Amino acid sequence: MSKRIKIKDIFSAPVNQAYTIMGWVRTFRNNQFISVNDGSCLANIQVVINSDQIGEDVIKRITSGAGISIQGTLIESQGKGQTVEIVADRVEILGDCDAETYPIQLKNRPSLEYLREIAHLRFRTNAFSAIFRVRHALAFAIHKFFNDRGFFYIHSPIITASDAEGAGEMFQVTTLDLNNPPRNEDGSINYKEDFFEKHTNLTVSGQLEAELAALALSEVYTFGPTFRAENSNTTRHLAEFWMIEPEVAFNDLDDNMDLAEDMLKYLIQYALDHCAEDLAFLEQRLLDEEKQKPQADRSEMTLIEKLKFCLEHPFERLTYTEAIDILKNSTPNKKGKFQYPIKAWGADLQSEHERYLVEKHFKKPVILTNYPKEIKAFYMRMDEDGKTVRAMDVLFPGIGEIIGGSQREERLDKLMQRMEEMHIPKDEMSWFLDTRKYGSVPHAGFGLGFERLVLFVTGMTNIRDVIPFPRFPGSAEF
């Protein structure tokens, strides 16, 4: 094929020269004007054709969705809506698209719900091409952020025999015949005959493995898929999602908060700097969507304002205990407006409480620390009061918790005590306990759900719209 120029580059290319572009037809007007997009940017390039020169047999095949190659001359446009356009010398149809059956009719603006059903084609819409370019930029920025700071990227295992969260809601991995599995004398399944010779699952987190690496390499991070077998049909949960989990030796809770705040601000700034066109489009899309809502339900900030809001304010830091006092005495709590009323210390905070603290009380991002030990994981370092642990959650407007982390419990006796309290089998975790036996040091880390970040930066409201092929209860299509 002739060497093509990407559409994102053609707008800055010298005019009055010949170029070859390839892409997909968005629209075809008056048998003369073709709008072409190749996914490299949001903008389409207008191509002007001479129907007599191109031929009727080719003209009939220029339909929305068709793959096309065009050779022509780039000129300054005399019409409205574009600065340059291509006058075609040659048009070749690379792939036909039946306009009658093509599921994406752009003139009707298909709903997000409909597009989820045809996720294999939704990349072709403006909204989803913008979302996935932003997703790419954020993924690249994550690696750049950590690489520039001397961190090492660790690939943690996807198949594991441990449950890092102690939640038990995991997807099992097996090669056994499910219709007739081998059994022990007591009737239990004999996993010695399974592929790994033990009960194994898909990982819920790479944290524990990252801790092992951090206690030798000092600063590491993981970025990979994680899995939760929770039967959650919500706009904020997925069964398969990606997690970023840094672990840093010699860091305490304050260092951990600093790293989380620096990282989030870096990522947001990177998106603003490198995805301006896509974010502007997504902002306008959100504004159009909000016009259909009652005034009371509309966002107080536009998408760009919300992103800048997180950049311009230092994150408020306060303890869980301080937060509970604020929430207990808040007007929504006193007037019964919270779906989950705050009655006493020890309550597990819900999204409505987190958003109140961020959006109404402090009007800035918030980091909550020192949660009750009963509602947090076994590996979090115990505070001196014996009631709380050195946990932290970062809360953002519109979304609530976006990061969860802690200073880890590096003291062997305290860690074993917590494992016993939470019924974590010590014999299966001997490899983890070894790091506390041999040269243990203070260390800390956190987890950022990548899709939560993409959801926030793009302004989308359903997490199923920011991952290419969402996995959730009852759905494993494509």
Q: How many angstroms from the chain centroid is the CA of residue 188?
A: 39
- Distance (Å, rounded) from C-alpha 191 to C-alpha 178? 12
Residue 183 placed within a domain? no
Neighbours of 56 (CB within 10 A): 10
Q: How confident is the model at residue 82 (pLDDT cuts 50, 70, 90)?
A: confident
CA-wise closest residue to 367 among 346, 385, 392:
392
Residues in CB range of 444: below 8 A, 6 or more apart:
247, 248, 251, 252, 253, 255, 256, 390, 405, 406, 407, 408
Q: At 255, is the secondary structure helix, strand, or coil?
A: helix
Is residue 142 included in any domain, yes or no? Answer: yes
Assess if residue 136 is contained within a domain. Answer: yes
**Quick one: 133 and 231 in the same domain?**
yes
The span from the CA of 441 to the CA of 450, in Å, is: 28
**Is 199 within the bounds of a domain?**
no
pLDDT of residue 1: 57
Looking at the predicted structure, is the pLDDT value of residue 472 above 70? yes
My answer on whether 81 and 213 are in the same domain is no
Averaged pLDDT for residues 182-198: 95
Question: Is there a single domain that holds both residue 210 and residue 151?
Answer: yes
In this prediction, residue 95 carries a pLDDT of 98
CATH of the domain at 296: 3.30.930.10
Residues 454 and 412 in one domain: yes
Do residue 91 and residue 210 come from a single domain? no
Does the predicted TM-score (pTM) go above 0.85?
A: yes
Q: What is the pLDDT of residue 298?
A: 78
- Specify the number of domains making up the chain: 2
Structural domain boundaries, residue 284: 126-169+204-465
Position 166 pLDDT exceeds 90: no
In terms of domains, do 27 and 159 share one? no
- What is the rounded average pLDDT for all residues in the chain? 94
Whether 98 and 156 share a structural domain:
no
Q: Decide: 381 and 375 in contact? Cβ < 8 Å.
A: no
CA atoms of 190 and 181, how far apart (whole Å) = 8
Domain match, 259 and 402 both: yes
Is residue 377 scored above 80 in pLDDT?
yes
In whole angstroms, give the CA distance from residue 206 to residue 204.
7
- Amino acid 289: pLDDT: 87
Structure tokens at 300: 């107080």
Which two structure tokens, joined as six digits, stand for 45? 């390039």
CATH number at residue 11: 2.40.50.140
Q: Which of 87-101, 172-186, 288-302, 414-428 has the lowest mean pLDDT?
A: 288-302
Whether pLDDT at 167 is above 60: no
Position 142 pLDDT exceeds 60: yes
What single DSSP character describes residue 475?
B
Residue 54 lies in a domain: yes
179 domain-assigned: no
219 and 300 co-located in one domain: yes
pLDDT for position 349: 95
User: What's the pLDDT at 168?
Assistant: 57
Q: For residue range 240-291, what is the model confidence (pLDDT) as tens digits?
A: 999 999 999 999 999 999 999 999 999 999 999 999 999 999 999 999 888 8
Domain assignment of residue 112, yes or no = no
What residues pair up with 88 in beta bridges, in sequence order?
Answer: 72
CA–CA dist 235, 456 (Å, integer): 13
Give the model confidence (pLDDT) of 13-63 as tens digits.
999 999 999 999 999 999 999 999 999 999 999 999 998 899 899 999 999
Please, are residues 286 and 459 in contact by the beta-carbon 8 Å criterion? yes
- Averaging pLDDT over each range in 99-113, 260-274, 416-430, which range is the top one? 260-274
Handedness of CA 326, 332, 335, 336 (dihedral sign): negative
Q: Are residues 315 and 434 in the same domain?
A: yes
Q: Is residue 238 scored above 90 in pLDDT? A: yes
Report whether 133 contacts 275 (CB < 8 A): yes
Q: Is the dihedral of CA 117, 122, 127, 131 positive or negative?
A: positive
In this prediction, residue 396 carries a pLDDT of: 94
Gap between the Cα atoms of 191 and 455, Å rounded: 40
55, burial (CB in 10 Å: exposed 0-12, middle 13-18, buried 19+): exposed
pLDDT score for 46: 97
Residue 178 in domain:
no
pLDDT value for 212: 96
Residue written as tokens 């036909």? 96
* Same-domain status, 223 and 278: yes
Give CA torsion, residues 295, 296, 302, 303, to 10 deg: -120
- Ordered alpha helix ranges (H), 370-422: 412-421
Per residue in 202-235, pLDDT tens?
999 999 999 999 999 999 999 999 999 988 888 8
State whether residue 159 is helix, strand or coil: strand
Q: Is the pLDDT of residue 448 over 70?
A: yes
d(CA 417, CA 436): 13
Single-letter code of the amino acid located at 266: Y
414 and 329 assigned to the same domain: yes
